[in-house]
Amino acid sequence: MIETRTLTLAEIENLSLRALVAAGTSEENARPLAVATAATEADGVASHGLAYIPIYCEHVQCGKVDGQAIPVVTQPRPGVVTVDAATGFAHAAIDAGFDRLIPLAREQGIAALAIHNSYNCGVLGYHTYRLAQAGLLGLGFTNAPASIAPSGGARPVVGTNPFSIAAPGANGEPSVLIDQSASTIAKSEVMKHAREGKPIPVGWALDADGNPTTDPEVGLKGSMAPSGGYKGVGVALLTEIMAAAMTGATLGIHASPFSGTAGGPPRTGQMFLAIDPTVSSAGGFADRMRDLVGAIHDQEGAHLPGDGRRKKRLAAREDGVAVNTATLARIEAVLQAARE
């Protein structure tokens, strides 16, 4: 049985911040990542939450990510913002870009943010969620080191490459939030099973010859299974074009892994589009979204993408989050090493 300890969201944020700073991250870079980690735990996505903090710390210490990086923001065209993340954490680069993107989208109706020389941005839906909170329709794309093979092939060429869309709704919560990778399951889930010595379900990953496997270690050496077969490969390619080719970031076939210490900075990318729906919908966006969401929620047992996360998010604000004590021990080891 897995032992857990309940922490408040403030405690999760504080613990994350202290560990990241202890590992050599500036507070300016650590703070956005710590806030995102708490939000990720609140949403119930533990594989991308505190469990990643020891990995982030290790990557700062080995040079895979520059904890002291200062993002450089430029605006080459009226509706386009670019950020050179300088091999630092994506979260600080996204924050810097959003400071320019959000007012631009409100002013012009639509604006784009392209980020390169970046690192893992965690849960992509966390970032589009923030655009929806600002009253904008948010679209996000992020590429990753290659782990999905093309249809008919066995050698990975594109990453799990998630995309996300968040539509603004009432009370600061998105009416719809879709956040899905091009693979059947996020690679971090396979990594989590490997750490815990647990088998994975058939359909999550493939071996080096393209055959299904239940061994997470074999799957990590092979490839991730694309969601929906060739259609999942198409989504991965779409995201690769948007997040890497369009931003000037490193393609997944050339990017170093997000796991382990080898290979230096991955230099991947993110692309965000922010659209003011009141401009393009002749003022009818909110009504149409209510009709659309209602048509789903009116069906017994039916749910929207993001409903589960929303329910957990609201509960976590009051009740906190149960965190694996083994994860807490790994973070405490980081803090202890810094004290010695």
Domain limits, the chain: 1-62+306-340, 73-183+226-305
Percent of the chain with pLDDT over 90: 90
User: Among 189, 193, 223, 240, which one carries the catalytic annotation?
Assistant: 189
Catalytic residue, chosen from 48, 59, 116, 193, is 48
Spatial distance between the Cα atoms of 131 and 112, rounded to a whole number of angstroms: 12
- Is the fold of 1-62+306-340 the same as that of 73-183+226-305? no
| ∠ Cα 90 140 203 (to 5°) | 95
Which of 46-50, 79-83, 165-169 comes out lowest in average pLDDT?
46-50
Instruction: Give the pLDDT band (50/70/90) at residue 340.
Output: confident
pLDDT digits (tens, 9 = 90+) for 94-150: 999 999 999 999 999 999 999 999 999 999 999 999 999 999 999 999 999 999 999
* Catalytic position from the list 47, 118, 181, 227: 47
Dig out the tokens for 320 from the structure. 């906190």
pLDDT of residue 45: 93
pLDDT band of 187, cuts 50, 70, 90: confident
pLDDT of residue 231: 95
DSSP H helices in 23-166: 27-42, 53-62, 90-108, 124-133
Q: What is the CATH number of domain 73-183+226-305?
A: 3.30.1370.60
Residue 147: name the closest of 91, 87, 188, 89 by CA: 188
What is the pLDDT at residue 188? 81
CATH number for 1-62+306-340 (one of 1.10.3470.10, 1.10.240.10, 1.10.1530.10, 2.120.10.30): it is 1.10.1530.10
pLDDT the model gives residue 327? 94
Q: Give the model's pLDDT for residue 196.
A: 87
Give residue 64's pLDDT band: very low, low, confident or very high (50, 70, 90): very high
pLDDT bin (cut points 50, 70, 90) of residue 186 is: confident
Query: What DSSP string runs through 80-109?
Result: EEEEE-TTS-HHHHHHHHHHHHHHHHHHHS
pTM of the prediction?
Answer: 0.94
Q: Is 47 a catalytic residue?
A: yes
